[in-house]
A and B are shown apart, each in its own frame.
Chain A
Amino acid sequence: MTMKVGTRQVDGVTIVDASGRITLGEGSVILRDTVRDLLSKGNKKIVLNLAEVNYIDSSGIGELVSAFTTTKNQGGELKLLNLTKKVNDLLQITKLYTVFDVKDDEAAAVKSFK
Chain B
Amino acid sequence: MGLRLSPPPGRILVFTSFMAMTEQRVSYTLDSSLETIDSAEEKATRIATELGFGEDEVMQISMAVREGAVNAVLHGNAYAADKKVTLAFERIGNELVITIRDQGKGMDLSKIPNPLAPENLLKTSGRGIFLMRSFMDVVEIRPSSTGTELKLIKHVHGPTAGGKEASQ
Is A59 in contact with chain B by the CB < 8 A criterion?
A: yes
Task: Determine whether the beta carbon of A99 is less than 8 Å from that of B122.
Answer: yes
Whole-angstrom distance between the alpha carbons of A68 and B123 in the complex? 11
Task: Determine whether the beta carbon of A24 is less than 8 Å from that of B70.
Answer: yes
- For chain B, residues 120 to 168, give those with C-beta under 8 angstroms from any C-beta of chain A: 121-125, 127-128, 130-131, 134
Task: Determine whether the beta carbon of B128 is less than 8 Å from that of A58.
Answer: yes
Q: Chain A residues near B127: list those with CB within 8 A.
A: 58, 61-62, 94
Task: Determine whether the beta carbon of A96 is less than 8 Å from that of B63.
Answer: no
Whole-angstrom distance between the alpha carbons of A68 and B134 in the complex? 24
Is A77 in contact with chain B by the CB < 8 A criterion?
A: no
Q: Chain A residues near B26: list those with CB within 8 A.
A: none
Task: Determine whether the beta carbon of B67 is less than 8 Å from that of A95.
Answer: no
Q: Chain A residues near B124: list those with CB within 8 A.
A: 62-63, 65-66
Chain A interface bracket (under 10, 10 to 19, 20 to 34, 35 or more): 20 to 34
**Given A86-B59, A94-B130, A57:B34 Cβ within 8 A:** no
Q: Chain B residues near A86: list those with CB within 8 A.
A: 59
Whole-angstrom distance between the alpha carbons of A59 and B127 in the complex? 8
Of the candidates A58, A96, A99, the one whose C-beta lies within 8 Å of that of B125 is: A58
Number of CB contacts from chain A to chain B under 8 A: 45
* Mask: chain A, 61-83; 1 = CB below 8 Å from B; 0 = not: 11101101100000000000000
Whole-angstrom distance between the alpha carbons of A69 and B124 in the complex? 10
- For chain A, residues 80 to 114, give those with C-beta under 8 angstroms from any C-beta of chain B: 86, 90, 93-96, 99
Whole-angstrom distance between the alpha carbons of A68 and B37 in the complex? 26
Task: Determine whether the beta carbon of A65 is less than 8 Å from that of B122.
Answer: yes
Of the candidates B37, B66, B74, B116, the one whose C-beta lies within 8 Å of that of A94 is: B116
- Which B residues fall within an 8 A CB radius of A? 34, 37, 59, 63, 66-67, 70, 74, 115-116, 121-125, 127-128, 130-131, 134
15 contacts between A and B (CB under 8 A): A24-B37, A25-B37, A57-B63, A57-B66, A57-B70, A58-B125, A58-B131, A59-B125, A62-B123, A63-B124, A69-B122, A94-B115, A94-B130, A95-B121, A99-B121
Nearest 7 interchain pairs by C-beta: A62-B124, A58-B127, A58-B128, A66-B124, A25-B34, A62-B125, A95-B116
